[in-house]
Each structure stands twice: as C-alpha cells, then as structure tokens.
Amino acid sequence: MFKIVADPRFTHVVPVLVPVDGGHVEQTFRATFRVLPTAEADRHELTTTAGMDAFLRAIVVGLEDIEDEEGRPLPYSDGLRDRVLDPIYVKLAVLRAYNAALGKARAGN
C-alpha cells in the first residue's frame, strides 16, 4: 500500500571525496533530507551557485556525524549546515546523494 506523507523526509549517508594532495580522501556524514514538492523544486535554478545554495538549504534539514578539527561532535544548526555545504565538492556530493535516493525510489515504484 502506498502512503501519502505530508512532509516526507529521509536520512542517508553522504560520501564526500575531499581533495587532498595527489588525490582524494572519502569522508562521510549523514544528512536528513526533505523531499520538495515538484512545484517547489522546479523554482530552483541549479545552474548557479546561488540557486544551488537555495535548493540545498531547502532540502537539508539535519546533519549527523560532523566533527570539528579536534574530533568533537558538532550539533546541527543552520549555521553548521551552511558551513558544511560551502565547498563545491560537498554541494555536489549532497546533490548526488539526494538524487540517488529519489532515483532509487522512482525505480522501485
């Protein structure tokens, strides 16, 4: 049976390839996403950094497994979300994770 959920959300692991000298290191965190209604998603212009930032602020509603440089866990806040999503390689990783999750949902229906 298919259930209609008023504000669908899901949490997935986001793998991020962090650039380092000579290559990349994979780091992960967990993001809780809000599934945007189609009309709302269509209003976002993902070909610009500003549009991508607005879209990410709309879909990312939680972050887990984020630490500071000394390894202390950081609690979720909008400020933390904005800091985490600032590097382009993180933006792209989050978009990939969100799209992959929605793509699997579509493929399974």
Q: Specify the number of domains making up the chain.
A: 1
- Cα separation, 65 vs 15, in Å, equals 12
Residue 60 falls inside a structural domain: yes
Give residue 95's domain range. 9-108
Domain membership of residue 65 (yes or no) is yes
Percent of the chain past pLDDT 90, that is, above it, reads 91
Q: Tell me the C-alpha distance between 95 and 92, whole Å.
A: 5
* pLDDT (tens digit per residue) in 47-82: 999 999 999 999 999 999 999 999 999 999 999 999
Instruction: Tell me whether residue 67 is in a domain.
Output: yes
| Tokens 């959920």 found at | 5
pLDDT at 104 exceeding the cut of 90: no
46 located within any domain: yes
Handedness of CA 20, 23, 28, 33 (dihedral sign): positive
| Residue 105: band (very low, low, confident or very high) from pLDDT cuts 50, 70, 90 | low
Q: In angstroms, rounded to a whole number, what is the distance separating the alpha carbons of residues 40 and 28?
A: 28
The confidence band for 103, taking pLDDT boundaries of 50, 70 and 90, is confident
